[in-house]
Amino acid sequence: MGGRLVDGKWVSKDHWESDTSGGFKRQESAFRGAVERAEAGRFHLYVSHACPWAHRTLIVRTLLGLEDAISWSTVHPLMLDDGWVFAPDDADYPSDDPIHGERFLRDLYVRADPTFTGRVTVPMLWDKQTDTLVNNESAEIIRMLATDFAPLGTTGAVLYPEPLRARIDAAMDRFYNPINNGVYRCGFARTEAAYRAAHDELFAALDEWDAALQGQQYICGDALTIADVALFTTLIRFDPVYFVHFKTSKKHIYEYPHLWAFVRRMYALPGVAETVHFDHIRTHYFASHRQLNPRGFVPDGPDMGALLRA
């Protein structure tokens, strides 16, 4: 479900683009600006707690101790005909736009570009001073947080250290298509062949990273970096949602000893568990993608709390 803006006007439609062989095609993020100057109190993150890309930005904010420097707000987990919405009066998921009081996330895209054409996605890094959308690509936002914004943080964490940058970038590039985007390629494939290809690539990559994590704590060795965050937000959604909803069902992540140890290690980092909202995650996917789950009910799944604490 959802829709997109065309010349600043909302077109509501099930609109998952595919290529000629039925494979899922993700659009490029449109806003790719940089911050002129990272200042405390000036920037805001619009996220969905459901979304793995947006979740990356909240975790990096937490690990850097940027809580006082950067504000954030979440949309409502259901993404139906109006795309992402704010629902201040919703009993289960109260959510609002604290800057403009808009009802729809798309209203903010139109504020930033009145003739915008494209999908309306989270995360968004918003500049309250110039009142515009700076960047809506998580891979760039987390790099900005870990470089431009890091000096404003309270923890002193170095998540994108210069000597490791090439390695971090290479790792993130390597797992993006088979894993982060790969779960969507399984779920949104329109042909069985496209699904099978995505599924095989996904599990080959999971096997590979499980082996890589055998002798090391993190993706790039013993240092925690943004690459770990980028992988974690997909893995934490895998067993409760993707396994069933996107049919990524060859294996659970908890069946991979080293990947599962990695997920638990990340989850145990100070502040990270508080950024994980399984209620938003499960409600969003199962109840929003009616093309995959027409009745919209949320199936039962593994008890993630018990698994993570075990």
Ligand X SMILES: N[C@@H](CCC(=O)N[C@@H](CS)C(=O)NCC(=O)O)C(=O)O
Measured CA distances, 278 to 44, 71, 240 (Å): 23, 22, 8
Which one of residues 71, 121, 234, 288 is an interface residue with ligand X (CB under 6 A)?
121
Complex with ligand X: residue 199 or 237, whichever CB lies closer: 237
Query: For residues 81-120, which are near ligand X according to CB under 6 A?
Result: 83, 119-120
Complex with ligand X: residue 199 or 289, whichever CB lies closer: 289
Query: For residues 8-37, which are near ligand X according to CB under 6 A?
Result: 29
- Active-site position among 93, 109, 160, 184: 184
51 flagged as catalytic = yes
State yes or no: residue 182 binds ligand X (CB under 6 A): no
A 10 A CB-CB count for 7 gives 9
Complex with ligand X: residue 119 or 277, whichever CB lies closer: 119
Angle, to 10 degrees, between the axis of helix 192-212 and the axis of helix 257-267?
A: 80
Strand bridging mode 43-47 / 70-74: parallel
CB of 75 to ligand X, least distance (A): 9
Distance CA 93, CA 284 (A): 11
Distance CA 140, CA 56 (A): 11
CB of 23 to ligand X, least distance (A): 16
State yes or no: residue 64 binds ligand X (CB under 6 A): no
Q: Which of 19, 1, 11, 25 is nearest to 118 (CA)?
A: 11
A 10 A CB-CB count for 222 gives 7
Quick note: the x/- pattern for ligand X over 264-303, rule CB under 6 A, is: ----------------------------------------
109 flagged as catalytic = no
Complex with ligand X: residue 2 or 153, whichever CB lies closer: 2
Complex with ligand X: residue 256 or 285, whichever CB lies closer: 285
CB of 145 to ligand X, least distance (A): 13
Angle, to 10 degrees, between the axis of helix 226-237 and the axis of helix 52-64?
A: 130
A 10 A CB-CB count for 200 gives 14
Run of H or E including 278: helix 278-288
Q: Annotated catalytic sites, by residue?
A: 51, 184
| Chain contacts with ligand X (rule: CB under 6 A) | 2, 29, 51, 53, 83, 119-123, 137-139
